[in-house]
Structure 1
Amino acid sequence: MTEEHERLNKLTMELRRGVLIMAVLESMVTSHYGYSLRRHLEQNGLDVDEGTLYPLLRRLESQQLLTSDWQVQEGRKRRVYQLSDNGQTARITMEREWRHLNQALTNLAEDTQ
């Protein structure tokens, strides 16, 4: 891998991490267990490793953006996550900021054409 390719890969991964947090919070409007969330994200065009998703869920819970409890679903005991009130506020705030940044980037791109 060239140095340039590695640098671009790191930048892309940094962008993806921020977007993944938003995607998880947005997806948690409906409660999910880990695998159902992963499948939901994938069906909507965002493929996420289990090794990335599960630590993120635990981190968001420790930040009090998600809550979880054990439930029996489809005959199996699963940890089901849902948005907390703090998570709902963060989701709305981040979505608003995303729209603002997206519009700013669109404006900048149009200026360069």
Structure 2
Amino acid sequence: MASLAALREPGYGYALLQTLSQAGIAVDANTLYPLLRRLEEQGLLTAEWDTTASRPRKIYRTGPEGERVLAAMLADLDALRTSVNRLTEGTAS
């Protein structure tokens, strides 16, 4: 979910690691890169090679299906947050 949200703006793997870290989400590169490949294979991310720099790098972006999935995940998270708030506030019935 965090990767899909962060990659609404195009970015490459190392920059995504930094973005997630700054947001308080610790992810190891050995976990992130396979995740990015899977998300791309599932059609949730689009990717293209940037060859303008001295070293080519793959630029990722959340695709239309990724936006749809992200919206559904955020709605589920919001519903879960509401339910937990009801429980902690003692208003669940």
**TM-score under structure 2 length normalisation:** 0.90
Q: What amino acid maps onto 1:91 in structure 2?
A: L
For residue 56 of structure 2, give the secondary structure of its aligned residue in structure 1: strand
Q: Please, what is the CA RMSD of the aligned residues?
A: 1.5
- Whole-Å Cα distance in 2 between the matches of residues 107 and 65 of structure 1? 33
1:26 lines up with 2:9 in the alignment: no
CA offsets, 1:36-69, max 9 Å, x none?
0000000111110011101111111111000101
For residue 16 of structure 2, give the secondary structure of its aligned residue in structure 1: helix
| Bigger helix fraction | 1
- Identity across the alignment (%): 40
Please report how far the alpha carbon of residue 73 of structure 1 lies from its aligned counterpart in structure 2 after TM superposition. 5.7
Structure number with the bigger relative contact order (C-alpha 8 A, sep ≥ 6) is 2
Matches within 5 A, 1:28-107: 28-72=7-51, 74-107=53-86
Q: Which runs of 5+ in 1 are unaligned?
A: 1-21
Q: Which runs of 4+ in 1 moved over 2 A?
A: 72-76
Q: Which runs of 5+ in 2 are unaligned?
A: none
- Whole-Å Cα distance in 1 between the matches of residues 52 and 31 of structure 2? 23
Aligned residue-pair number: 91
Please report how far the alpha carbon of residue 90 of structure 1 lies from its aligned counterpart in structure 2 after TM superposition. 0.8
